[in-house]
């Protein structure tokens, strides 16, 4: 069963649009039941329940993944931790008086695997963003990627500094024994100087294929972007 862990060189580089596009691409490749998973979402709005259903904290990235998915599951499966504060997950968890448990996330991921033909897991922030900080315990998104042991797709936000961020992220992924299955170049700064030269450097030094290069196009939908991405 295809499953991928999507990480980014930073926050705000296009992980969600990449994850949603991957979901559409997998559906287009013949996988009928494809679901996105956002294990930890920090920055949620309260949504009142309707028709007797309870209210819930809801993150816009989670909404985007659910809209792209062809398999709809209980919210506790595809988003185990919905945290109100838009800050680093480990801080948001403390503010919400909870603790992010990787065992719980892994159990929900395996539950999704039982029902889906393909799963796309979107990490939070950059690759080593903290998830849990307790006395004697410090866990990051990288630890989660290792726990799930999925091939990683890295989203590179094309802007000044992206070379350093991309190469460091690649180094961290490979150092943990994970497979870098591919990367996506996503233009986040329409005025980035020497974008073509930066892209050439990335292609020369990243040890995985470029799956897509998306120019500045904030109106593009995930379904449209899926037509311009290669599956690993």
pLDDT confidence of residue 148? 98
**Which residues are known catalytic residues?**
38
Distance from C-alpha of 118 to C-alpha of 109, rounded to nearest angstrom: 11
Task: List, in order, residues 6 or more apart from 79 with CB less than 8 Å away.
Answer: 37, 38, 39, 41, 59, 62
pLDDT confidence of residue 59? 96
Per-residue pLDDT reduced to its tens digit, 2-39: 999 999 999 999 999 999 999 999 999 999 999 999 99
Q: How confident is the model at residue 53 (pLDDT cuts 50, 70, 90)?
A: confident
Which residue has 């968890």 as its token pair?
93
Domains for the chain: give ranges and CATH numbers: 3-226 (3.40.50.300)
Per-residue pLDDT reduced to its tens digit, 194-207: 999 999 999 999 99
Q: How confident is the model at residue 1 (pLDDT cuts 50, 70, 90)?
A: confident
Average pLDDT on 108-130 reads 97
Q: How confident is the model at residue 49 (pLDDT cuts 50, 70, 90)?
A: confident
pLDDT confidence of residue 206? 98
Distance from C-alpha of 6 to C-alpha of 222, rounded to nearest angstrom: 15
Average pLDDT on 158-173 reads 98
pLDDT confidence of residue 55? 85
Angle at 218 between CA 217 and CA 222, to 5 degrees: 90
Q: How confident is the model at residue 132 (pLDDT cuts 50, 70, 90)?
A: very high
Q: How confident is the model at residue 185 (pLDDT cuts 50, 70, 90)?
A: very high
pLDDT confidence of residue 50? 78
**First and final C-alpha spacing in the chain:** 13
Angle at 146 between CA 114 and CA 24, to 5 degrees: 50
**Beta-bridge partner residues of 4:** 120
Q: Which pTM value belongs to this model?
A: 0.95
Q: What are phi and psi of 156, to 5 degrees?
A: -105, 115
Which residue has 């986040």 as its token pair?
188
pLDDT confidence of residue 54? 79
Percent of the chain with pLDDT over 70: 100
């Amino acid at each position: 069963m295809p499953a991928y862990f999507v990480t980014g060189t930073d926050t705000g580089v296009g992980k969600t649009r990449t994850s949603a596009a991957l979901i559409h691409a997998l559906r287009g490749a013949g996988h009928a039941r494809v679901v996105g998973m956002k294990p930890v979402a920090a920055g949620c709005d309260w949504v009142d329940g309707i028709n007797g259903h309870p209210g819930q904290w809801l993150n816009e990235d989670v909404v985007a993944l659910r809209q792209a998915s062809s398999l709809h599951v209980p919210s506790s499966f595809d988003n185990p931790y919905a945290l109100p504060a838009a800050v680093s997950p480990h801080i948001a968890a403390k503010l919400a008086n909870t603790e992010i448990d990787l065992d719980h996330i892994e159990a929900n991921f395996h539950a999704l695997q039982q029902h889906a033909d393909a799963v796309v897991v979107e990490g939070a922030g950059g690759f080593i963003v903290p998830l849990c900080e307790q006395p004697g315990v410090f866990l990051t998104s990288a630890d989660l990627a290792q726990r799930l042991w999925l091939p990683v797709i890295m989203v590179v936000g094309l802007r000044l500094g992206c070379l350093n961020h991309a190469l460091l992220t690649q180094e961290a992924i490979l150092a943990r024994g994970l497979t870098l299955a591919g990367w996506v170049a996503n233009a986040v700064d329409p005025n980035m100087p020497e974008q073509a030269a930066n892209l050439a450097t990335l292609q020369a030094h990243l040890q995985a294929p470029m799956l897509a290069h998306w120019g500045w196009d904030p109106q593009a939908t995930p379904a449209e972007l899926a037509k311009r991405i290669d599956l690993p």
